[in-house]
Structures are given as C-alpha cells and as structure tokens.
Amino acid sequence: MPAIRAKASGKTAFVNVRLLDPASQTDCQGGLLVEDGKIAGIGPQITAANLPSGCTVIDGKGACLAPGLVDMRVQLREPGFEHQETIETAGHSAATGGVTTMVALPNTDPVVDDVAGVEFVARRARKVGLAKVFVYGAVSKGMEGHEITEMGLLHQAGAVAFCDGDQTIANSRLLRQALSYATFFDGMIVQHPEEPELSRGASMNSGELSTRLGLSGVSPLAEVIQIERDIRLAEMTGGRLHFAHISTGESVEVIRRAKKRGLKITCDTAPFYFALNENAVSDYRTFAKLSPPLRAEEDRQAIVMGLADGTIDAIASDHNPQDADSKRLPFAQAAAGAVGLETLLPISLELYHNGFMPLLDVIGRLTMHPARLMKLGAGTLAIGKAADLMMFDPDRAGKIDPYAFVSKSKNSPFDGRLTQGKVVRTIIDGRDVFVHAPWFEGQ
C-alpha cells in the first residue's frame, strides 16, 4: 500500500498566487486554504484579509500554485542498487523538483514480483516520509519473461500497474495472458516498446550520425513494430495497455490511429524525447545514452505535436540514476539512462514557453493525466483532497547543473542547459518538504 505519514495540523493559507488546476480548468489569481493536511478552500475569495483566525499565511508573491507533480516512471534503485539511488535520496530529489507522488518501477534486487516486495517499498517510503511512493508489480517472475506473476495478489497489496521495468515483454503469449488477467480488476500493463532482437547490442539511433560515429544503431522501427504487435494483443483481449517513453514519429501515428478505433491504449514520453535529439551524443556523450535512444529531429518534433494534440497522455521523468563508473566508459559499454526528477518541470515548461502548449495543458500532462492513468486520486486542487502542492515561478531563469542535484546520481544530458521555470515550494499533506528560501526573501 502507499506510504502513510503524519499530516500537518492547523490551518495554512497560500495567498497571492496564480491557481492552476487542470482537473477543473482553473487558472486564476487567488488563494488556497489547507486544514489538517487537506485542501479546505480555493479561489479568488481567499486573501490575506479574509482568513479564519489562527491561520498561518504564506504569501506566494504571484507564483503559480498547482497540484504536486505525479511522476509515473521512476527507478528508485532500492533495494539492491543503493549506490545509485535510495528511496530517501529520490524523495529529496523529487521534493526539489516539485514531485509529490512517484510510481516506482519493479526492477530492483530482488524484483518487486511478490507481495513482500510491494510491502517493503511501502515501509521504506513511510519511514522516509517524503514523496508518496506507489509501485508497479512485475508482469513476469524475476522479469525474466517466462512465467506470469500473481498479479491479482500484487494488485490487492497495492501495485497500481504492471510492467517488467526497462525490459520489453517480448513473449506474445505472456503479454496476452497478462492483458487478459488484468481485465478482471481493470489493471494496466505498461510496456517498454523496443523489439529486443532488432535493438540487441545497439548504442544509439541508427542513421547517418551513428554511421559517422562508428556506433551500432537501433532503427526506430524496433519501437513501432513492438507497438503494432502489442496493439493487436490489446484489441484481442480488451485489456488496458500503456506504452512508456515513446520516442518516434511513427509510434505517435500508430497510437493515434489505435485511439481513434476506441482501443484502451495510452502512452507517455519523457522530456529527453521532446527536448533533445540524437545530436546530443555527437561527442560520444554517455550522459545522453538512453533507452530508447534519442532520435532524429523529425521524431522530436513529432513527439511535441503528439503532446500538443493529446495523443501522448502524460509526461514522466523516466528517472534512471546511474553511478559515475557506469557512465564513464566507452559509449558502447556505458549504461543507458539519465536522472530526471529535478529537471522534469523546467524542461517540460519549454513546451509552454515555445508556444506549443498552454501552461495548464503542460501541468495537466504532469499531474492530472498520470494520476488518472494510475487511479491515484492525486493531481488536483479539489476540496477534500490531500494538500500535495507545488509552487513555482514559470519565468525564473536558471541553468541546469547536475552536480547541484540532490539525487545521488548526476547523469543528466541537460548539463548546462538554460531554463525558464523553478520550483520554489513543495508541500505534501500540508507539510513543507522543500522551500527555496532565497525566492521568498526576494532574491
């Protein structure tokens, strides 16, 4: 089950803020009242001059107040790989990035493929008391792709969806069985869409650049072929199927057509795939080695358009921490993956600043939509909901410095990137878990 933590007592009012709530399409100046860890009031009527007695007042100085980010794809690394990340360090990293809810992949050691694994993560998250942590259950035992897990028991224990981490569910029989099984409790299967045989041994996107660099490439077709097969299985079973971190234009088009046919198909992408292209690896930069790999510029543009028209349902950080020794290797041998919790908001805000999406829509892809996909009841400023909030300045200029990250790992392809947008306060159940003090001091 999700972590349970003590909630703030008393009353707190956030005033002089721009309220952003995609779930209710709210975008207005006003305030928000928190009482005993829950949202008790919201709207333009809540001002410093119109508050209950004994209320703590926080002046937002015109900043945006939105639901805390809901990150549906995070690798916490605990248990088994604590030298790369822990639930505690990821929790602090999430707080710094405005993330109040994380859904953790099951690819730990041991794999989260039984009830004990789900309960371990819940206990650790409860003890840490930072971001709320939910978990995926593995689809196959040991994520080996041979035998299905006890998905029903995992669901009852608190697993909110099912995947095999960063491994493709390549076995058609197994995926069909999982999709059918999950229909009994309306569970969602999440796929890493990359046909294994077409991508085996590849280091980056195939094309002119990979040829020039002398690196083995994986064709974008490896992604779309997997997606097309899996859509057929979803249609056969009537199951809910979600594709993670899609990266190619053809994938967007295939998913768009499937949605028009009324199939239960959804997808997400990560900031890497709409903010970067394959040129980021030009100098053999292993911090830009990802899975799936960064694609061509036309693919990046298609991902942006897929977000803008709603084909892509959500944005996830795809937080994949790697230690320095795993990255400081020749490109072909280096581990794939990048951290993303602390860059999720500022990079996503580029979609707004560059005119591709309204601000409310960008925030929706980071809050309401992933929360609904996972049936979490988060991602909204509705009265009665937990006061999981993020306050941010959408125009605050910055520069990404991975060595200033709170995360234990520093592997980011955005090193040195100029940004607009900064989280200045993160609140969970009415408690401050991160405050950027200089901002409130007017610096």
Confidence (pLDDT) at 327: 96
Residue 430 carries which DSSP code? T
Distances (CA, A) of 130 to 37, 208, 336, 388, 410: 14, 45, 27, 11, 20
Specify whether the CB–CB gap between 31 and 56 falls below 8 A. no
- Give CA–CA dist 243/237, Å, rounded: 16
pLDDT at 442: 60
Q: What is the pLDDT of residue 14?
A: 97
pTM: 0.96
Residue 179 has φ and ψ, to the nearest 5°, of -60, -40
The pLDDT value recorded for residue 438 is 82
The CA–CA distances, whole Å, from 350 to 276, 306, 355, 416 equal 12, 15, 8, 15
- What domains, with CATH codes, occur in the chain? 11-65+387-440 (2.30.40.10), 69-373 (3.20.20.140)
| Cβ proximity of 185 and 152 under 8 Å | yes
pLDDT in tens for each of the 443 residues of the chain?
444 444 566 899 999 999 999 999 999 999 999 999 999 999 999 998 888 888 999 999 999 999 999 999 999 999 999 999 999 999 999 999 999 999 999 999 999 999 999 999 999 999 999 999 999 999 999 999 999 999 999 999 999 999 999 999 999 999 999 999 999 999 999 999 999 999 998 899 999 999 999 999 999 999 999 999 999 999 999 999 999 999 999 999 999 999 999 999 999 999 999 999 999 999 999 999 999 999 999 999 999 999 999 999 999 999 999 999 999 999 999 999 999 999 999 999 999 999 999 999 999 999 999 999 999 999 999 999 999 999 999 999 999 999 999 999 999 999 999 999 999 999 999 999 999 978 777 64
What pLDDT does 384 receive?
A: 97
Catalytically active residues, by annotation: 318
pLDDT of residue 362: 98
Instruction: Give the span between the Cα atoms of 233 and 239, in whole angstroms.
Output: 8
Report whether 73 contacts 317 (CB < 8 A): yes
Nearest to 139 by CA among 172, 91, 98, 99: 172
